[in-house]
Amino acid sequence: MANVKGGVIVASKNHSAETNGTQKNIAALFNVMLSKDGYQKRFNELLGKRVPQFIGSLVAMMNGDSNLQHVFYDAPITIIQAALKAAAYDLPIDPGLGYAYIVPFKNKQKDGSSRYEATFIMGYKGMNQLALRSGAYKKINVIDVRDGELKSYNRLTEEIEFDFIEDDDEREKRAIIGYCGYFQLINGMEKTIYMTKKQIEQHEKKFRKGQYMGKVWREDYDSMACKTVFRKLIGKWGIMSVNYQTADSSTIAAATAIAQGQFDDEDLTPKQTIDMETGEVLPADHGDQPQSEDDKILEASLNL
């Protein structure tokens, strides 16, 4: 049985997170929490008439994911925070669409206790959407590069030559050796970067939340690899030129994110390790937290 105290949901230890009754309770209690803690007003400000659809998608996600149900009972505020971030960017949270994800994970606290929490992870499609909204880009794209397609790459001048395989079926048979990102601004400025598959793998290992590859990377590696290249491309050399007097809130949020090089929690969450006996995520020393390349360059920028 779960009850609400001051807007915070409290649950007994023996709740069953997968029963139909619990699913109904999740929807009801979630709506109560939104109303009592003022979150509903914030969602209304961000999404307007689209709030019911957004909240409906969020509840459906919780009902369909037992780990998110555990998060709902252990740390519901983390779900709200992740959802608000997606709403601020005006991105759908249906994981099937690939724009944004609310990812559950088990976090062991310093006092020895553990709880399920959720974090916001932006997908490649979401990041691409933010850049396009700026109106600053004429062309922008990230592609995979197959074995035999890369002919030459000058790291200094960024001149790169490909001989792409035209037959899609034949191309699919070739192994991916890297990813290339490119943009051209309306004013004519161009930028190209190339990352090998090994560099992508090293990046994933450096910024993962534990010793093992995260769920989003496991289930959609190609999109996350493209996103890694995209973040490096836009975070270092891209621009977000917007009119802050007329731009909507999601575009302003995107502008701030690009100014910081901080698109989601992937690079912001302290690096953690996993207890090999329990499988739990252990808290890390914040002093040893790795900093993304984008954060190092623009760490003094606006705070989101």
Residue 96 pLDDT greater than 90, yes or no: no
Q: How far is Cα 80 from Cα 71, in angstroms, rounded to an integer?
A: 11
Mean pLDDT, rounded, for 21-43: 78
Distances (CA, A) of 54 to 47, 61, 120, 191: 8, 11, 15, 36
pLDDT above 70: percentage of residues in the chain: 69
Is the pLDDT at 6 greater than 70, yes or no?
no
Q: For 231-248, what is each residue's pLDDT tens digit?
A: 889 878 886 544 444 455
What mean pLDDT do residues 80-98 have? 88
Instruction: Estimate the share of the chain in helix, then strand, then coil, as percent rounded to the nearest 5.
Output: 45, 20, 35
- Cα 31 to Cα 237: distance, rounded to the nearest angstrom: 42
Residue type (1 letter), 275: D
Tokens of 53: 């659809």
Whether residue 76 has pLDDT greater than 80: yes
User: For position 198, what pLDDT does the model report?
Assistant: 96
Q: Which helix (H) or strand (E) holds 122?
A: strand 114-122
- Provide DSSP, 277-293: TT-PEEP--GGG----H
Please state, in angstroms and rounded to a whole number, the distance separating the CA atoms of residues 81 and 269: 14
Q: What is the pLDDT of residue 270?
A: 40
- The helix (run of H) or strand (run of E) holding residue 302 is none
At residue 236, the pLDDT reads: 82
pLDDT, tens digit (0-9, with 9 covering 90-100), for 117-149: 998 888 888 888 888 888 889 999 999 999 999
CA dihedral defined by 12, 17, 19, 20, rounded to 10 degrees? 100
Segment 101-122 mean pLDDT: 85
The residue among 14, 6, 20 whose CA lies nearest residue 73 is 14
Q: Which residues have a Cβ under 8 Å from the Cβ of 96 and sit 6 or more positions away?
A: none
Contact 212, 181 (CB under 8 A): no
Beta strand 176-185 pairing with 137-146: antiparallel
Answer yes or no: are the C-beta atoms of 29 and 62 closer than 8 Å. Answer: no
pLDDT score for 127: 83
Instruction: Classify 145 as helix, strand or coil.
Output: strand
pLDDT classification of 180: cutoffs 50, 70, 90: very high
Tokens of 164: 């792409």
pTM of the full predicted structure? 0.63
- State the average pLDDT over residues 189-202: 94
3-state secondary structure (DSSP) of residue 214? coil
Torsion of CA 222, 225, 227, 233, to 10 degrees: -140
> At 103, which amino acid appears?
V
Is the pLDDT at 191 greater than 60? The verdict is yes
